[in-house]
Chains A and B, each alone.
Chain A
Amino acid sequence: MDPIIEVNQIEFSYQEDTPPALKDVSFTINRGEWIAIVGHNGSGKSTLAKTINGLQMPQKGSVKVGGQVLSEESVWDVRRMVGMVFQNPDNQFVGATVEDDVAFGLENQGIERNEMLKRVTNALEQVKMTSFATREPARLSGGQKQRVAIAGVVALRPDIIILDEATSMLDPEGREDVIATIRQIKEENELTVISITHDIDEAASANRILVMREGQLYQEGTPGEIFSAGPELVSLGLDLPFPEKLKMALKARGVEVPTTYLDEEGMMDWLWTSVLKK
């Protein structure tokens, strides 16, 4: 395993006399992993994401990205490694047209124009927005704007992509579309993805889930481990994934269900085998 992000006992507070937004958080993320960070509002998820690329510097502890310790000097190198997609598709659209927005990050890095043209076309192809290249943001849907934001990140060729609730303002269709796009790009470019999300189905498809609660890392594990907690998730302010809801409904009707977590397919298998057994 090749660790790409190491967070070591960080503490962060926005103002001195308020309770810290992050307290003693430590974890390691390996190259190529898909990590979901979940937790209810105000649990410190977004603050955590911002400390990873130096938008906020922790007061205590250290963050290491790609072997580099995050500091005032290394912050720009770290930002080259980390691409971030934010929540509101409108507020992060810098360019006046789609292609300008994708090029914005490249311009910042002073990349030569010919290379830029190539990378912009390429990135737009990857998110399937080529035919929209000269459109203005006002004429795009929310999902399309988020795909452009992803293209802007992809064009920079980062090692890590952080999705800071990138799908929370989209309709279910746009959400699925964006996640599928990221999944494909992740496979093609061997990226590490950190997805901060409220969408439990999105979290369920991650390699690992980090649960945040009141600024602390409350739990860490595979979706199976986390979701087997069942109803306890609700007390954490999280929703249950659909198979868990189904299990609970069955249990309430006196059906005996397995205690381990099953994803949709697993649940389906279990259902048809148990029906046949009877």
Chain B
Amino acid sequence: MMNKLIFGRYIPGDSLIHRLDPRAKLVASFYFIGIIFLANNWQSYLFLGLFTLFAIMLSKVDLSFFIRGVRPLIWLISFTVILQMLFTRGGTLYWSWGIFSLSEYGIQNGLFIFCRFILIIFMSTLLTLTTPPLSMSDAIESLLGPFRVVHVPVHEIALMLSIALRFVPTLMDETEKIMNAQRARGVDFGEGNLIQKVKAVVPLLIPLFVSSFNRAEDLATAMEARGYRGGEGRSKYRLLKWSGRDTAVIIAFAAVTVVLVFLRS
């Protein structure tokens, strides 16, 4: 069930995109999501689409991964698009029934929103597919760095993030084990009506919680035994290196913004 989830997975590779500084990638992705909202006609969407495809090509990751990334969200997307189509009026009216209508503007708006969704998902999937989770948490720590001034516990956030990421597969394995153990005792997961389904989750959730507490305690002891005493006076093993190509990426995104402003109507 969890293996199908593409979102948040990392595909090892050695492309230009893979080698970029994670900070550059993170900033660029967020920036891209921001400027998508600048686009308001088909020329600008086409331009953004081509740009995204170009980025995907550079990453040398198979396009099918991205399409699979969209799949779990397809219902949300269709729902939004259909609502948008049915409730927007304007332009030529093709069909109408009560409060529902299908108009030129409605269809156009629906398609734009569809493009917007796809572009956002493609770009964020590109980020997660080409960046190891660990570098991502490094990038977040580094980018949050300035907030130290206003007493944001940056080191603690980064540590929690990296421990959380490290324990994801461990806890997944454990979930599977508990599920099978409970199945062996006759618990039916995913059977019956909603209430029965929710009830079946209890014998999975409680052991999982309890074992997480135990894990946390063991881990804290182990960390303390290895001399961990907070963020102060620590050195760093992993280093992020900002290079010329990272600056180039940022410049490319600035250029995209300029073109976009020209294209929009």
Contact = CB atoms under 8 A, between A and B. Distances in A.
Interface of A: 50, 53, 55, 76, 79-80, 82-84, 86, 88, 90-97, 99-100, 103-113, 116-117, 120, 136-138, 152-153, 156
B218 A104 contact: no
Interface stretch (B15-23, B144-152, B166-174, B257-265): B166-174
B226 A90 contact: no
A116 B162 CA distance: 20
B50 interface: no
Interface stretch (B51-59, B232-240, B244-252): B232-240
30 contacts: A50-B221, A55-B224, A55-B225, A76-B227, A76-B229, A79-B224, A79-B227, A84-B222, A91-B218, A91-B219, A94-B163, A94-B166, A94-B222, A94-B226, A96-B137, A99-B237, A105-B226, A107-B235, A107-B237, A108-B227, A110-B233, A110-B235, A113-B237, A113-B239, A117-B237, A136-B169, A138-B169, A152-B226, A153-B226, A156-B227
A80 B219 CA distance: 18
Interface residues of B, number: 30
A86 B222 contact: yes
Contact of B227 (A88, A91, A105, A116): A105
Given A91-B215, A108-B228, A116-B237, A96 B169 contact: no
B1 to A, nearest CB: 17
B173 A86 contact: no
A125 to B, nearest CB: 17
Contacts of A117: 237
Contact of A94 (B223, B233, B234, B236): B223
A104 B228 contact: yes
B166 A106 contact: no
A200 B224 CA distance: 29
A162 to B, nearest CB: 9
Contacts of B63: none
